[in-house]
């Protein structure tokens, strides 16, 4: 069965290994499958739930597109666009916000984490973020959405919104409830400084992450200084349960090598971390450094990147505006 796939990445700038292994690498595989119809969105509207520097924001959007292409996503075979250039997303988000219930949004754990203790100071945009995400997906009749563990709840909300809209207006299956495409392992890459925290550009220490812009020496140095425990490498996969840093580094290696975690554990069983780190560093250099060079090359071709975004927005708008017109008709607009 052909899959219609929608997914997006926020243009926050300085993309890192977590973005690549957790999302973009998977996008590449999905986009290469001729049976899939893929739409990859630079979700700039989502990104402004936190303050963005307007002088740098356009560059961050281009950087995200450059990373898509450098990683292997073909803009001729897949739609690549930025969300703000298709106005149907914002309008559909308002309409679906009138269908979604406050109680549903109050249960979103990611809002609680990002808003912190003082929820009164959080923006409405941060609170209603999952409704915009639902609009993104439902406008394209997406059948499948690649999500990490931290986004599963949002996709469940999307399904609830679709079902309620269909029921409220008696239009069976008009909004298609999408299925999740969850990577079996390693969709959540953790900090190199703390195996219990997600890798993030917001963490103060640059040594907590591998940036896709890092050179060879930076990659090697960061892995050398990555946090580990004092024990040798685990003997069995069950030993990883209480060793988050070991699990994270072995997970990164397994994802890069396209190996099962259990086989990686067997490969390095009982060895010293220093020996493993040398091999992991080389695997990262082999994959990330060429990617970094290609991203930099593409970033020097702004007109080319802008052309991809313009053409992608036109294709996306053709699909989304048609769906929005059908929604208007259902609502009586």
At 181-194, the pLDDT tens digits run 877 656 689 999 99
Q: Compute the distance between CA of residue 162 and CA of residue 160 in angstroms, rounded to an integer.
A: 5
Decide: residue 102, CB within 10 A, 0-12 exposed, 13-18 middle, 19+ buried.
Answer: exposed
Among 257, 225, 193, smallest CA distance to 21 is for 257
118: helix, coil or strand?
coil
Task: Give how far the C-alpha of residue 264 lies from the chain's centroid of Cα atoms, to the nearest Å.
Answer: 25
Decide: residue 216, CB within 10 A, 0-12 exposed, 13-18 middle, 19+ buried.
Answer: middle
pLDDT, position 83: 97
CB 163 within 8 A of CB 153: no
Can you list the positions of beta strands (E) in the chain?
A: 3-9, 36-42, 79-82, 144-146, 179-181
Across the beta sheet with 3-9, the strand order is: 79-82, 36-42, 3-9, 144-146, 179-181
Q: What is the pTM for the complete model shown?
A: 0.91
Hey, which residues are catalytic here?
A: 114, 198, 201
Q: Compute the distance between CA of residue 251 and CA of residue 267 in angstroms, rounded to an integer.
A: 13
The C-alpha torsion from 197 through 203 and 207 to 209, rounded to 10°, is 60
User: How many other C-beta atoms lie within 10 A of the C-beta of residue 134?
Assistant: 28
Q: Compute the distance between CA of residue 218 and CA of residue 231 in angstroms, rounded to an integer.
A: 25
> What domains, with CATH codes, occur in the chain?
3-187+302-331 (3.40.50.620), 206-297 (1.10.240.10)
The C-alpha torsion from 12 through 13 and 15 to 18, rounded to 10°, is -30
- Where the chain has pLDDT below 50, the residues are none
Q: Which two tokens stand for residue 104?
A: 């549903």
pLDDT in tens, 287-326: 999 999 999 999 999 999 999 999 999 999 999 999 999 9
Among 75, 19, 22, smallest CA distance to 47 is for 19
Q: Which two tokens stand for residue 110?
A: 């990611």
pLDDT, position 292: 94
């Amino acid at each position: 069965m052909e899959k219609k796939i929608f997914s997006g990445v926020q243009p926050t700038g300085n993309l890192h290994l977590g973005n690549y292994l957790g999302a973009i690498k998977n996008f590449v595989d999905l986009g290469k499958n001729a049976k899939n119809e893929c739409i990859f969105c630079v979700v700039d509207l989502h990104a402004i739930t936190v303050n963005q520097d307007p002088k740098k924001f356009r560059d961050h959007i281009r950087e995200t597109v450059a990373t898509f292409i450098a990683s292997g996503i073909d803009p001729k075979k897949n739609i690549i666009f930025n969300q703000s250039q298709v106005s149907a997303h914002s309008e559909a988000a308002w309409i679906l916000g009138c269908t979604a219930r406050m109680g549903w949004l109050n249960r979103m754990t990611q809002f609680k984490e990002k808003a912190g203790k003082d929820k009164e100071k959080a923006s409405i945009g941060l609170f209603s973020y999952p409704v915009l995400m639902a609009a993104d997906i439902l406008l394209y009749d997406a059948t499948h959405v690649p999500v990490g563990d931290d986004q599963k709840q949002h996709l469940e909300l999307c399904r609830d919104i679709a079902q309620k809209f269909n029921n409220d207006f008696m239009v069976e299956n008009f909004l298609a409830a999408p299925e999740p495409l969850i990577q079996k392992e390693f969709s959540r890459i953790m900090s190199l400084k703390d195996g219990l925290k997600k890798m993030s550009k917001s963490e103060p220490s640059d040594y907590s992450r591998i940036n896709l812009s890092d050179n060879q020496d930076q990659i090697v140095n960061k892995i050398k200084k990555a946090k580990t425990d004092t024990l040798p490498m685990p003997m069995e996969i069950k030993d990883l349960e209480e060793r988050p840093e070991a699990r994270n580094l072995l997970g990164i290696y397994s994802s890069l090598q396209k190996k099962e975690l259990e086989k990686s554990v067997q490969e390095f069983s009982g060895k010293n971390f220093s020996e493993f780190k040398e091999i992991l560093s080389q695997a990262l250099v082999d994959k990330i450094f060429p990617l970094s060079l290609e991203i930099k090359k593409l970033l020097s071709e702004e007109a080319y990147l802008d052309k991809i975004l313009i053409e992608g927005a036109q294709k996306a708008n053709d699909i989304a505006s048609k769906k929005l017109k059908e929604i208007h008709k259902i609502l009586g607009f």
